[in-house]
Amino acid sequence: MADNPQQPAIVTTIPEATPVSVVPDPPRASPYRRRILTIFGCLIAILLLWIGSGYVFAFTDDAFLTSDLVSIAPQVTGPIASVDIQDNQLVAAGAPLFTIDPTPYKYELDRATADAAQASSQLPIDQTLLESATDARAGALAQLRLAESDLTRATSLNHAGFASVQALQEAQTTEQRTTDRLRAAQSAVIAAQQTLRLHEIALGAAEANRLIALWRLARTKIVAPVAGRVAHLTLRVGDMADASTPMIALIAADGWRVVANYKESVLRHLHPGAVAWVWLDTQPWHFFRARVQGVAPGIRRSQEDPGLLPYVSPTVDWIRLARRLPVRFTLDNPPPEDERFMGSDARVFILF
């Protein structure tokens, strides 16, 4: 094979690479650090929202429904003769509750009535004796005046020589005797007046005893002082009722209210008449419209301190809480009477 003529060599020129500047990426936060910052930011936001909520609304679940508990105690002592109510019964004001055996009180009234009648019958006799003594005194006074006139005349005649000394002495004796008789008559009148007064006082005392006996007899029938519901009835016929010892508890029908304990920091926003919303645990998913009746003016700092102020415990399950004061709410649309339960839990929400 013949050799090809030598061809020129093809030379390819490669251009030099242009140097490129590399910009380093910014440092990235680690996922752990980003998570910590997010959680911390959320906590700060929640804290700010919680602090700010105290200027917008107030909510508490430390609340309960209550009313006035009337303790009914008899005013006389005796065995129970009848019980006219049942446990949990709704009663009207003036309805009979129970009766104490009235027999001894009837006898007491009969005796007091007899004593009053006896004292009253004595007054006409005393009045007659007083009138007789008054007449006797009037007669004695007339005789004294006549005796004094005779003595004056006898004295004048004796000085003129027309009457003897014996006649003058007889006139003086008669005047002295009539004077003594008048004094005795006056004493008899005073005694008759005092006797009449004494028997009038005795009549008043007898009449007072009769009224007391009548009052005691009337108190053997115990009635409801207010309308309400009978609570925890344990009274039975035959039980002994002691005066001033409570026998029946009655929950008043006109005293229902909600008492909520609110922190001191929100009390300045709770003004009487402000609208609130109440959730009763006995009425789930039903909100009752209520109004602020008032804020308690004070509480006791110690449970051992005596007094009439309420005590609100600052600790719950070993947790120290802010001081709270009771706030009373009245319900605008309360549940039916037979669906109200004293002491049941409640929750109160109020928007400022």
Side-chain-facing half-sphere of 160: CA atoms under 13 Å: 8
Q: Are strands 315-316 and 78-83 parallel, antiparallel or unpaired?
A: unpaired
Three-class SS string for 35-54? HHHHHHHHHHHHHHHHHHHC
Rounded Cα–Cα distance for residues 92 and 228 (Å): 7
Q: What is the pLDDT along the chain (352 residues), one digit of tens a residue?
A: 444 445 554 444 555 545 545 555 555 557 777 888 888 888 888 877 766 666 778 899 999 999 999 999 999 999 999 999 999 999 999 999 999 999 999 999 999 999 999 999 999 999 999 999 999 899 989 888 888 887 788 788 777 777 677 777 887 888 888 888 889 989 999 999 999 999 999 999 999 999 999 999 999 999 999 999 999 999 999 999 999 999 999 999 999 999 999 988 888 889 999 999 999 999 998 999 999 999 999 988 888 877 788 888 887 666 677 788 999 999 999 999 889 999 999 999 998 8
Note the maximum CA span of the chain: 233
Tell me the pTM: 0.71
Closest residue by Cα to residue 199 from 132, 120, 115? 120
Q: Are 70 and 227 in contact (CB under 8 A)?
A: no
Domains of the chain by start residue, with CATH: 56-68+252-351 (2.40.30.170), 70-101+221-250 (2.40.50.100), 103-218 (1.10.287.620)
Q: Measuring CA to CA, which residue among 218, 252, 248 is closest to residue 233?
A: 248
Instruction: State how far the Cα of 112 lies from the Cα of 120, in Å rounded to an integer.
Output: 12
CA distance 352 to 350: 6
